[in-house]
Amino acid sequence: MDTRRPLRILATALGTAGLLISGCSSGSSTSAPSVPAALAPHYAQQLNWRDCGVGGFQCTTMKAPLDYAKPDGGDIELAVSRAKATGPGKRIGSLLVNPGGPGGSAVGYLQSYAAIGYPAQVRARYDMVAIDPRGVARSEPVECLTGPQMDAYTQVDQTPDDATEVNRLSEAYKEFASGCERRSGEILPHVSTVETARDMDMLRALLGDEKLHYVGASYGTYLGATYAEIFPARVGRLVLDGAMDPSLPAVDANRDQTAGFETAFKSFAADCVKKADCPLGTTSTADAATRLKQLFAGLDARPIPTGASRELTESLATTGVIAAMYDESAWPQLRDALTGAEKGDGSGLLSLADSYYEREPNGTYANLMFANTAVNCLDLPPAFADANAAAQALTGFEKASPVFGRTFTWAALNCAHWPVRPTGTPHRIEAKGADPILVVGTTRDPATPYKWAESLAGQLSSGTLLTYRGDGHTAYGRGSDCIDSAINTYLLDGTPPTKGKTCS
pLDDT by position in tens, the chain (length 504):
232 233 333 433 343 333 332 223 333 334 446 789 999 999 999 999 999 999 999 999 999 999 999 999 999 999 999 999 999 999 999 999 999 999 999 999 999 999 999 999 999 999 999 999 999 999 999 999 999 999 999 999 999 999 999 999 999 999 999 999 999 999 999 999 999 999 999 999 999 999 999 999 999 999 999 999 999 999 999 999 999 999 999 999 999 999 999 999 999 999 999 999 999 999 999 999 999 999 999 999 999 999 999 999 999 999 999 999 999 999 999 999 999 999 999 999 999 999 999 999 999 999 999 999 999 999 999 999 999 999 999 999 999 999 999 999 999 999 999 999 999 999 999 999 999 999 999 999 999 999 999 999 999 999 999 999 999 999 999 999 999 999 999 999 999 999 999 999
> Which residues partner with 62 through β-bridges?
78
pLDDT for the residue numbered 10: 40
Give 469's contacts (C-beta < 8 A, 6+ positions apart).
Answer: 442, 443, 502, 503, 504
Q: Is 256 a catalytic residue?
A: no
Distances in Å between the Cα of 150 and the Cα atoms of 144, 184, 185, 380, 422 are 9, 16, 19, 24, 24
What does the pLDDT read at residue 34?
76
Q: Is 473 a catalytic residue?
A: yes
How many other CB atoms sit within 10 Å of the CB of residue 313? 24
Helix axes 250-272 and 331-342, enclosed angle (nearest 10): 80
Residue 213, φ and ψ in degrees, nearest 5: -105, 135
What pLDDT score was predicted for residue 33? 61
Whole-structure pTM value: 0.94
Predicted pLDDT of residue 443: 98
Q: How many CA atoms lie within 13 A of 501 on its CB side?
A: 16
Q: What radius of gyration do the chain's Cα atoms show? A: 22
Provide the 10 A C-beta neighbour count for residue 12: 24
Closest of 366, 350, 118, 414 to residue 239, by C-alpha: 118
Interior angle at CA 359, CA 357 and CA 361, nearest 5: 155
Of the candidates 218, 351, 401, 455, the residue annotated as catalytic is: 218
Q: Half-sphere exposure (CA, 13 Å, Cβ side) for 447?
A: 32
Q: What is the dihedral of CA 69, 75, 78, 83, to 10 degrees?
A: 90
Q: How many residues does the chain have?
A: 504
Question: Which one, of 419, 414, 427, lies nearest residue 19 by Cα?
Answer: 414
Q: Looking at 192, 473, 480, 484, which residue is catalytic?
A: 473
Whether 139 contacts 62, CB under 8 Å:
no
Which residue among the candidates 151, 199, 300, 445 is catalytic per the annotation?
A: 445
